[in-house]
Amino acid sequence: MTNSVDRRVRASQKRRRLTAAAARVLHEQGVERTTLADIAREADVPVGNVYYYFKTKDELVQAALAEHSAHLDELTAELDRSADPRDRLKGLVSAWMDQRETAARHGCPTGTLAVELDKRADGTLDAEAGAVIRRLLDWTAAQFRTWGVPDPDDHALTLVSAYQGMSLLANALRDPDVMTREGNRLLRWLDSL
């Protein structure tokens, strides 16, 4: 009884460990340069055992994407507690600025994943990273719409685009200040609307 429950709990813990490890390592090293052994080691799971939780490497990539998507959900849920849509958006920008060190080192997890997955010939996962980005776009557009700003979709595109751009530049130039400078500009821009 308890044994079987324990086992199930332990098992799902392992799954969670693997997912978290995948999200982390894939972000840091990229998909192609990360081996299953890397992820297994990071999750402290024997290599052969990985396949009981994820049938292929791609499923691990998918799980990592889902993890990033969940992080996004947490963030927007947190931001949704503000009454003012402008404050929500400013909170979003602040969250990006808080991640400046990570961004400078490895870029935006979803953005860099999207770049890498788009290079694939087989269109198996290309869309999935795009979907996460689209969800961010949608949430952002919803804020602008509630706020009453005209062309909310365009404004959302501008904001998310700016985020991806500044993350990429911070990463390419290895300079977290890029995040600060552009972040502050975005805050002023939101105030000016």
Partner DNA sequence: CATGAATGAGGGTTCATTCAT
Partner DNA sequence: TATGAATGAACCCTCATTCAT
CA-based nearest residue to 76, from 155, 163, 142: 142
> Which of DNA, a copy of itself, none sits in contact with 29, Cβ below 5 to 8 A by type?
a copy of itself
Under rule CB under 7 A, residue 52 binds DNA: yes
- Distance (Å, rounded) from C-alpha 83 to C-alpha 68? 25
Judge residue 69's burial from the number of C-beta atoms within 10 Å of its C-beta, 0-12 exposed, 13-18 middle, 19 or more buried: middle
Hey, how many other C-beta atoms are within 10 angstroms of the C-beta on 175? 15
At 63, the amino acid letter reads: A
Contact present, 33 and 115 (Cβ < 8 Å): no
Under rule CB under 7 A, residue 3 binds DNA: yes
- Distance (Å, rounded) from C-alpha 188 to C-alpha 128? 32
> Which of DNA, a copy of itself, none sits in contact with 36, Cβ below 5 to 8 A by type?
DNA
Contact present, 86 and 147 (Cβ < 8 Å): yes
Hey, how many other C-beta atoms are within 10 angstroms of the C-beta on 111? 21
From 16, 24, 41, 57, residue interacting with DNA (rule: CB under 7 A): 57
> Which of a copy of itself, DNA, none sits in contact with 17, Cβ below 5 to 8 A by type?
none
Q: Which of residues 25 and 97 has its CB atom nearest to DNA in the complex? A: 25
Under rule CB under 7 A, residue 120 binds DNA: no
> Which of a copy of itself, DNA, none sits in contact with 44, Cβ below 5 to 8 A by type?
none
- Distance (Å, rounded) from C-alpha 187 to C-alpha 171? 21
> Which of DNA, a copy of itself, none sits in contact with 101, Cβ below 5 to 8 A by type?
none
Q: How far is CA 190 from CA 41, 153, 161, 180, in A?
A: 44, 15, 15, 15
CB of 18 to DNA, least distance (A): 9
Under rule CB under 7 A, residue 134 binds DNA: no
Of 29-37, 120-128, 161-169, 185-193, the window that binds DNA (rule: CB under 7 A) is 29-37
CB of 65 to DNA, least distance (A): 16
User: Which residues of this protein are in contact with DNA, per CB under 7 A?
Assistant: 3-4, 6-8, 10-12, 14, 33-37, 45-53, 55-58
